[in-house]
Structure 1
Amino acid sequence: MLAVSRLTIGQLRPRVAAIGTKKYFAGRMTSGGCTYSRRWFSKKVNDSMAKELAARRRKMLASGGCYSPPYEGCSSEEAAAGGRRIGVPLIGEDIQYGGGDCGGKRSAAELKKPSCEQDCSDVTTRPKCEGSQPPAKEPDLNKTSPACPPPPPPSKDNTAYILGAIALTASGLGLAYKMGLFDGEPTVQQVVPEPTTSSGTKSKQRYPTSSKDLPGEVPYLLIGGGTASFAAFRAIKGHDAKAKVLVISNEPEMPYMRPPLSKELWFNPEKTDLEPLKFKQWNGVERSIYYEPDDFYIDPTKLAEAPNGGVAIARGYEVQRIDVVNRKVVLTDGTEIKYGECLLATGARPKNLPVFESAPLAVKEHLTMFKSVSDFEELSQKLKPGSKVAVVGGGFLGSEMSCALAKFSDIREKNLEVYQLFHEDGNMGKILPEYLSQWTTDRVREEGVKVWPKTQIKAVEVQDKKLKLTLTDDSSLVVDHAIVAVGSEPNTDLAKTSNLEVDPTMGGFVVDAELRARSHLYVAGDAACFYDPKLGRRRVEHHDHAVVSGRLAGENMAGKNKPYTHQSMFWSDLGPKIGYEAIGIIDSALPTVAVFAKASPAQIIPDTSEKLQAANATIIPASATQTPSNSSVLNHTSVVKAEAMPPKPAEDADDFNKGVIFYLRDEKVVGVLLWNIFNRIGTARKIVAQHTRYDDLNEVAKLFNLHDRPEAEEEVEKEEAKN
C-alpha cells in the first residue's frame, strides 16, 4: 500500500500574523502579513525545528542577549510573565503565528502598532517590552546577528504520480482476476504440437478465424460440441423456436456421433477420401456420422442479427474460465462472451498408462489415443497390409476395436494381426460376471483376435521402427502400432478456474437431479455427476446417457425444471454372436442373477452362498440340486447365481447365447443386461424404475421372452410403441 504523509495532504489555511517579511520556515510561508501554513507536521519537521531553536538560544545567550523566537514579538521573560510557555509546536497543535500580548492574541489595532520599541521583524536589534529586565550588555549594532535559516526547497507535488500508481495497481489486479489467477494454484499449460495427418496437414482448424467475430452475448451458450450439446440445443429449439444458441467446440468438426468410430465405420469397403463418413445402420439404411448437414447451422458471425435465431458452432475454441456470478465465459485468448443460460458438456478424454505417458516421442508416434474422427482417419491410414496391431484394454472400446479391426482386415484384405492385451481375466470383466466374461473372450478369439488376458506392460521401446512391448512376465510383443483403450476420465479442467465442485470418488461436475451445477449453469453427458432419485449419485459414460441428459438439460435451460427420471441405456456388439443392451447400474462388483435359454432340461440352482461374489457368478454343473416345482415353468431355462467357488467353463458354448442378467444391490434390482435380446429395453427400464425386491426373478425373466416366439415379440413391440 502507498503511504502519504499528512503534511502533504494538509489543508492550506490563511492566518493573520504580525510578520511582514516573506519567510519560509518549518513548512510555512509568510507573505503580506499573512502566514499560510499546514496544521499537521511530521515528527521529522518537529525535530528539525527543535534543533534550530535550541541553536539560536545558545548563540543569543552566549552573546549576552535576550533570545526571542522568530515567530513571537516578545522575549522569553515576557512570555513567561504572560503565563504562556513558548515551544515547538507538536503534531496536531493549532499553531499561532505572531501573537499580540505575551501569550495572547493581538487585536486589529495592535497589529498596526507593535508593542515593542522596534518591529520584531528587525532581526538586527533586540525588541524591548514593558516589564522586561534590561540586558546586561547592549548588543553591538555593527555586529551582524545570525542570519535566518535558508528556506527549504519547495516540496514537489506527487499527487499525480500517486494517483497514477494506484490506478495502475488496480488495473493489474483487475486483469489478474479476469485471467483467473486468484482461483486455485496456477497451472502451466504445456504447448503440445497439433496432430497431423499422414499428409502433414494440421487437423486442428478454427472457425471463425478470429474470436472478435463471435457474438459478445447470447441467450444460450453450450460448451462442448458432442452428443450432449446436440441433444440440448434440439430441446432448446423445441421449446423456444427463435432461440439463439452458440456452441463452443474444441474440435474442428461439426457435432457427430462417436459409437460408429469403433464399430460400423470399420465395416465399410474401401472408399475414397472425398466421400463423407457414412455407415449402415442396423436397418440397412446408410447415414452420415454427422447429426445434421452443414446448412442446418447458422454462421457464428451472423447469429446476433438472425431474426429467427439459430444454432451456431464456433469450432477450434476453448473456454478458460466461467464467471458464474456475472454469467460470462472467458476464452483462452481473453475474449469474453456473456450468456443467459450455459451448459457444460465437455465430455471425457482418454486415459493413458504411465508406461506410455513417460515414453519418448519416438514411442508415442506409434500410439493412438482413440477418441475422435481425426483419430479414426489417422489410424485407418496407418494400418498397412500385414501390419501388427496391439489393442491395450479389455473394456467397451478395447473389445469393440479388437473385433472391428479383425473384421476390417477381412473386408479390406489387409491381413492384419490383431492382439488384445488387458489385465482382467476376460473381456468386459468390469461389467460381466466372470463366467460370461470368459465366454465372451472365447467368442472374440473366434473373430480372429489374439486375446492375451491377465497381461500387463512394464516397458516399451522402439526397435527397428517397430514398437516392442515388454510384459510383466518378461516376455515381449513386437507390433507396428498400438491403440490405447483403457477407459476415460471426465474433462473437469474448468472446475479450478471456475470454482465448481467435482465429485472426489466418481469424478465429474457435481449437479443436482435437474443437472444444475450453479445458477443458470448446467452439466450433461460424461462430465456430469448427477443425482438419480432411484439409484443415488452416478456418473455415466455412454452415448444414450449423453442424449438423455443433454435433452433434460436443454429443457431445464428453457425453464422446465424437470428432474432426472428417465434411465439411459447402452449397447455393444462384439462380432456376430454377441450383442447386448443394458440399463441401470451394470457392475460386476454387484451380485447377479442370470437366466439363460438352454437346449437342455431346466435346471434351477439355489443360492447356497453366504457371500455373493461380484465378478464370480459361477456355473454349477448339471448334476447340481434341482428344484422340481420350477422345472416345468422354466423349461429350457437355467438360473445362474453368484457362488463363492472357482468358475468352471460351460460345457456347451451355446449355453449363453441368449439370456437376461439382473444386478442386485440390497436385494433390489438396480440393473438389467439383455444378452442377445433386443427390443425389450423398455421392459428392463420399468423393472429398474420400480426399485423393488423380487422373490422370484425367474418369473420376472419371462417378461423378456427368452424363447423364439416371433408373434409374441411383435405384440410386445406394439404394446411398447403405444406406451
Structure 2
Amino acid sequence: MNRRHVFSRCVQLYSSVRSSQTVSHKLKDVSQARYMSGLPEGWKTNKELDMENKNHMNFMPVPQGSWQENYNKRNGRWNLHLAGSTVFLGVTVYVMWKTGCWYLHSAPSMKNKIAVTASSVAETATTTDKAEATPAETETTATTESADKISTPETSEEAAPGVDISLLPEIPGAVKYLIVGAGTAAFSAYRAIRAADATAQVLVIGDEPEVPYMRPPLSKELWFTDDPDAPQTLKFKQWNGKERSVYFEPEEFYADSKKLALEERGGVSVVRGKRVTKIDAVAQKATLDNGWVIQYDKCLIATGGKPKNLPCLENAGAGVAEKTTLFRNIADFRRLEEVTKTSDSIVIIGGGFLGSELACALGNRGKRTGMKVTQVFPESGNMGRILPEYLSKWTMDKVQSEGATVVPGSVVKSAKLDGEKVALKLDNGETLSADHVVVAVGLDPNTEIAAASRLEVDDKYGGFHVNAELEARKNLWVAGDASCFYDIKLGRRRVEHHDHAVVSGRLAGENMTGAGKPYWHQSMFWSDLGPEIGYEAIGLVDGSLPTVAVFAKATEQDTPKAVVESTGEGIRSETEQVASETPSDVAPKAPVDGDDYGKGIIFYMKDKVIVGIVMWNVFNKMPIARKLIKDGLPHDDLSEVAKLFNLYAKKEEDSE
C-alpha cells in the first residue's frame, strides 16, 4: 500500500468521526429543546421509553415448577414448622412447670401464690454485699468465728407469708451452693460459706439418713459411756464427763429442702438418703439417683471414703458377710454395739488408728462382760506404719493392758462359716474363731461418680485430682477424704482424718465464695487409745522415715482425759490454744528397752528437714509443730527445736 492510499484512508476516518460528533451534538440540542419547550405531540419521555425497552419477569408467564412457585411452597412449609415448634415449646414449658422440673416465679402474694425459686433467690444474693471473712490462722478460730455468724434460719412462713407450700417441689431445681456428701467436710464448708455470704442458701445431698455428724466418737467415747440409751441418742460423755452429741447441729438448725428458696436470710438444707450419680461440670448440673436434676452455681464434692474389705472375706459367702462389720458410720456403730451384747468373741482385723481404737474400746468392755477381743494385723506393732518400731511395740503392750489380745505379724488368708462362728485361718497356720469380725484396714476414696462426670482420679493416691485451691474443674471443688490435693509445702497428698476434713472443707467453702486461697494450713490428726494414751500428729508421718525423738516422764496432766478436762473439748483440734514458746533445756536421747514413753516428740526427717511430727501425750502444742512444717527449714541440731515444746513443765519440776 502506497503513501497516497494511506493518507486518503486517514482522511476518511477523520471525516466519519467528525460526522458522528456533529450528529450527537444535534441530538443533544434537540433533546434540550424538547424539554425546554415541552414535548411535541406523540413524543414519549425517557422513562416511558425505558419501561418499553426493559423486560420484567413479573410481566412474563410463570412456567410450571418455576422458582417462584417452589419458593411459595417451601415458605408455607417453614411457616407450619415454626407454628408447630412454638406449640411444642409451650407444651414442654407447661409440663416442666407442673412437674417441678422448672417453675415460673414471682414475688409471693395473696393473689399469686407461686413459690420463689432458688434461681431468683440466688440472683438476689449476688446483689447483696458480701460480708468479709477474716482468714483464720487455725481451724479452731475459723470454726468459732463462723459459728458466731450463723443462726438457725427463720421459718419459711415468716420469710414468705401466704406461700402455698404444696406447689413447691421436694428440692429446688437450682441453687447457688450445692454440696455432694453430708460429712465433716460438708459441715465445715457450709459454715465457711454462710460466714462469707450471710444470705447463702446451701443444699447438701447425703446418702445416709443422718444430718452431718462427727465420726471420732464412734470409735472412742461412745464405747466408754454407761448410758444405755447412747446408741440411740448418740450422746456421749467426754473424758471430762461433759455430755455432747455426735451431731454438729441439732435438727432445728436445718431448713426444709422444700422451703429453702423461701429463706430470705439464707439457710442450709440436707437431703438425706439420696446420691448424686453424675455431675456435668460444663452445664453445672448434678443428677441424683432418682433422676432429679439440680442446677448449681458452685459445687463441692465431699463424698468421703468407703471402708475396704479383704478379698478372703468378700468371697467367703453370705454367712460370713452377715457376721462382718466394715466399721465407718452410725449404722455400723449401732450394729456392733448390739453384737457386743450377745457375742463371746470378736476379732478385729487391722492395726491402724481405727483398729487400735476399737481394740481398746471393745477390750475395755470385754473386761466387764467376759467377751474375748482379738486384734490381728501384719505389722510388728500397733500403728506400725505410723510410729517408729520401738514406740509401736510399746503401744501394743498398752493395747493389751486394755483387755485385747494382739496378734502382730499375721495375715488372714481365708475365712469360712463354722457353725455359728467365723473361722479365720492365718498365714502362720493358726485359726481364730469369732462370733463377729470387724474389718478396719483403711478406706477407698468414694469416687464412683468420676467416670460418669469425666473427672480425673489420681493414679497413685486415689481421690479426685485437684489443685492447691482444691478445684477439680471450674466452679467445682473437692474436699475431705476424696480429694487428692497439691500441698504447696509437702507436694501431692491425700489425707483421711477428721481435722483434714475440717480444714479442707473450710478452705473449699471460702474459695466457693471467691477467696482463691491455696492449701497451706497443715491439718493434724490424733488418736486416743482410751483416756490415758493419746497422740497428735501433723505432716508426713511414715514409720519408714528416719526419726529423732525426745521423751520425758509423764504426769497426771499428760493424758487425753486431762486435756479434755482443762479445755472442755473432746475433739482434739478444738483444744488448740496459742502455745507457749518458753524454751526448756532438754536434749533428745536414743530410746532404750524398758523406757516408759510417757510423753515425747518424734520428728520425721527428710534431708535434715522436718516433714512430720508426732506429739505423744503432748497437747496444745500444734501451732508450734505446724509452724515448723510450714517453714520447711533444715535443722542440724534438733535439741534446740525440741526445747520449743517445753516437755519439762515447771509444775513437774516442782513436783519432783
**TM, length-normalised to structure 2:** 0.69
Give the Å deviation of 1:460. Answer: 0.8
What SS does the aligned partner of 2:177 have?
A: strand
Q: Note if 1:679 corresponds to 2:620.
A: yes
Q: Cα 1:598–1:239, aligned 2, differ >3 Å: closer, same or farther?
A: closer
Give the structure 1 partner of residue 646 of structure 2. Answer: 705
Give the structure 1 partner of residue 541 of structure 2. Answer: 586
Matches of residues 532-681 of structure 1 in structure 2 within 5 Å? 532-597=487-552, 638-640=588-590, 650-654=592-596, 656-681=597-622
Count of residue pairs the alignment pairs up: 478
Structure 1 Cα separation of the partners of residues 533 and 266 of structure 2: 45
| 361, 381, 406: which one aligns with 1:426 | 381
CA displacement 1:99-129 (0-9 Å, x = unmatched): xxxxxxxxxxxxxxxxxxxxxxxxxxxxxxx
Give the structure 1 partner of residue 344 of structure 2. Answer: 387
User: Which is worse superposed, 691-700 or 703-712?
Assistant: 703-712
CA displacement 1:499-519 (0-9 Å, x = unmatched): 111111011111111111111
Structure 2 Cα separation of the partners of residues 496 and 570 of structure 1: 31
Q: Cα 1:35–1:225, aligned 2, differ >3 Å: closer, same or farther?
A: closer
Q: Give 1:360's aligned amino acid.
A: G
Q: Cα 1:275–1:479, aligned 2, differ >3 Å: closer, same or farther?
A: closer
| Structure exhibiting the larger radius of gyration computed from Cα positions | 1
Structure 2 Cα separation of the partners of residues 665 and 418 of structure 1: 38
Structure 2 Cα separation of the partners of residues 273 and 682 of structure 1: 34
| 175, 182, 190: which one aligns with 1:233 | 190
CA contact (8 A) 1:468 1:477 kept: yes
Matches of residues 408-487 of structure 1 in structure 2 within 5 Å? 408-410=365-367, 413-487=368-442
Q: Give 1:683's aligned amino acid.
A: I
CA displacement 1:382-436 (0-9 Å, x = unmatched): 11355100000000110001001112334xx321100000011111011111111
CA contact (8 A) 2:366 2:373 kept: no
Q: Cα 1:533–1:464, aligned 2, differ >3 Å: closer, same or farther?
A: same
Give the structure 1 partner of residue 325 of structure 2. Answer: 368
Q: Note if 1:339 corresponds to 2:296.
A: yes
CA contact (8 A) 1:597 1:638 kept: no
Structure 2 Cα separation of the partners of residues 433 and 481 of structure 1: 31
Give the structure 2 partner of residue 317 of structure 1. Answer: 274
What SS does the aligned partner of 2:277 have?
A: strand
In structure 2, the gaps of 5 or more residues are 1-59, 68-79, 93-164, 555-583
Q: Percentage identity across aligned positions? A: 53
Q: Cα 1:270–1:330, aligned 2, differ >3 Å: closer, same or farther?
A: same
Structure 1 Cα separation of the partners of residues 231 and 379 of structure 2: 41
Q: Cα 1:585–1:273, aligned 2, differ >3 Å: closer, same or farther?
A: closer
Q: Cα 1:576–1:252, aligned 2, differ >3 Å: closer, same or farther?
A: closer
Q: Cα 1:560–1:452, aligned 2, differ >3 Å: closer, same or farther?
A: same
What SS does the aligned partner of 1:704 have?
A: coil
Structure 1 Cα separation of the partners of residues 499 and 230 of structure 2: 30
Give the Å deviation of 1:443. Answer: 1.2
Structure 2 Cα separation of the partners of residues 363 and 544 of structure 1: 34
| 440, 446, 452: which one aligns with 1:497 | 452
Give the structure 1 partner of residue 131 of structure 2. Answer: none
Matches of residues 243-254 of structure 1 in structure 2 within 5 Å? 243-254=200-211
CA contact (8 A) 1:245 1:312 kept: yes
Structure 2 Cα separation of the partners of residues 274 and 525 of structure 1: 26
Matches of residues 39-58 of structure 1 in structure 2 within 5 Å? none
What SS does the aligned partner of 1:304 have?
A: helix
In structure 1, the gaps of 5 or more residues are 1-15, 18-32, 39-158, 172-207, 600-632, 642-649, 714-723
CA contact (8 A) 2:466 2:486 kept: yes
Give the Å deviation of 1:564. Answer: 1.2
Structure 2 Cα separation of the partners of residues 304 and 587 of structure 1: 48
Q: Cα 1:211–1:225, aligned 2, differ >3 Å: closer, same or farther?
A: farther
CA contact (8 A) 2:588 2:642 kept: no
Give the structure 2 partner of residue 356 of structure 1. Answer: 313
| 354, 379, 382: which one aligns with 1:397 | 354
CA RMSD of aligned residues (A): 3.0
CA displacement 1:240-295 (0-9 Å, x = unmatched): 11110000000000100000000100001141379511122344321100000100
